[in-house]
Amino acid sequence: MNQLSEAAALFALSSSGVAAFGYSVVRGAEALADRYRLDRFAVGFIFLSVVTSVPELTVAVIAGLRAAVELSVGDLLGSSVVNITFVTGLAVLFAAKGVAIGRGLRANLTWLLFLSSLIPVLLLLVPRIPPITGLPLILVFLTYGIYASRSRPVHVALPSLDAGWRVFTVVAIGVVGLVTSATALVQSAKALSEVLGIGQLEIGAKLVSLVTSMPEIVTVAASMRRGEYEMAFGNAVGSNLTNMSLMLGSLLLIAGVDVFLSPHYATVLFVVLVSGTLWAFSLRGRISRPLALVLLVEYVAFLLFSD
């Protein structure tokens, strides 16, 4: 019982650290990004989706170095479900009048949802995923990043902190705190997995993924409230492609071991299910609170029925 209490306490403390320091990194990064002129969707995908995925990347690196690869794989898959259901669902609730989906945004969403669903499905068909697979996955991210940045530059009014050394100090402190917290998070999650007799992938998909998605929840909701819908969706949905390409690719290369997804097909199927739901609603040209309710129900189903 003492071992369970200690693991749970460390998990709670490290989760708070990941959420808090992850948010400080995102705020500092937003302040730095405010100096550039980029398309709103490009900012959401190329910049915010990467920055808000720093917790997932940190967990992936630490997990790869500490032989907890399944924990990170579960985190990446679970985060993809959380980003669409929990993050997007809550964000749509903040947008009281609904969200208009123009032709350009719909096309971008279609590509992001398709690619972020296709990658895990294809990997599910591979009995043994070798580390070299990380290279083409990272190439997918870079290719789409170039595609997303093709749009006409537009100034983006992001909330920012004071420029200069204060911003860099905030980012530096946030990164150090994030790495420290993520290390403790991986250790506590492994301990919980052993004490409770639950697989690392399930712990990563259902617990760690919610923690590492906190920066997305905050920034996407804020973007929705400001009416920056393209930026919000570029962040929330773009984080899925970032997870399935850049983050998973980095994990495979860092860990240097084969990964198996076939035993965890239910989690992959949920990624496809929630992606299809968001895509179907986006075809209507406007998404509103009924979508949010459907997505949140799917998130509860994921918690109950995924492996």
Predicted model pTM: 0.72
Residues 204 and 213: their CA atoms lie apart, in Å, by 12
Bridge partners (DSSP) of residue 156 are none
pLDDT score of 126 more than 80: yes
What sign results for the dihedral spanned by CA atoms 196, 251, 126, 74?
positive
Quick one: pLDDT at residue 177? Answer: 75
Give φ, ψ of 162 to 5 degrees. Answer: -60, 140
Which residues have C-beta within 8 Å of that of residue 301, sequence separation ≥ 6? 270
Quick one: pLDDT at residue 257? Answer: 81
Mean pLDDT of the 30-40 span: 56
Element (H, E) at 287: strand 286-287
Quick one: pLDDT at residue 42? Answer: 58
Contact 252, 138 (CB under 8 A): no
* Residue 15 token pair: 């989760």
Residues 201 and 43: their CA atoms lie apart, in Å, by 31
Q: Please write the tens of the pLDDT for every residue from 182-214.
A: 677 667 766 777 777 676 666 666 667 766 676
Give the burial string for 40-57 (b: 16+ CB within 10 Å, else e): bbbbbbbbbbbbbbbbbb
3-state secondary structure of 259: strand
Contact 31, 161 (CB under 8 A): yes
Tell me which residue of 25, 6, 44 sits closest to 231, measured CA to CA. 44
pLDDT score of 75 more than 60: yes
Quick one: pLDDT at residue 133? Answer: 93
Quick one: pLDDT at residue 46? Answer: 61
Q: Please write the tens of the pLDDT for every residue from 77-109.
A: 888 888 888 888 877 776 666 677 777 778 888
Residue 285, amino acid = G
pLDDT score of 237 more than 60: yes
Give φ, ψ of 288 to 5 degrees. Answer: -135, -165
What sign results for the dihedral spanned by CA atoms 41, 42, 48, 50?
positive
Quick one: pLDDT at residue 191? Answer: 74
Q: Please write the tens of the pLDDT for every residue from 10-29.
A: 777 876 776 677 666 666 66
Contact 200, 68 (CB under 8 A): yes
Q: Where are the domains of the chain?
A: 2-305
Mean pLDDT of the 250-258 span: 84
Burial group, residue 111, by CB count within 10 angstroms (0-12, 13-18, 19+): middle
Residues 63 and 183: their CA atoms lie apart, in Å, by 8
Per cent of the chain over pLDDT 70 is 60
Tell me which residue of 2, 5, 33, 19 sits closest to 163, measured CA to CA. 33
Bridge partners (DSSP) of residue 155 are 37
CATH 1.10.1060.10 given to domain 2-305: no
Bridge partners (DSSP) of residue 259 are 129
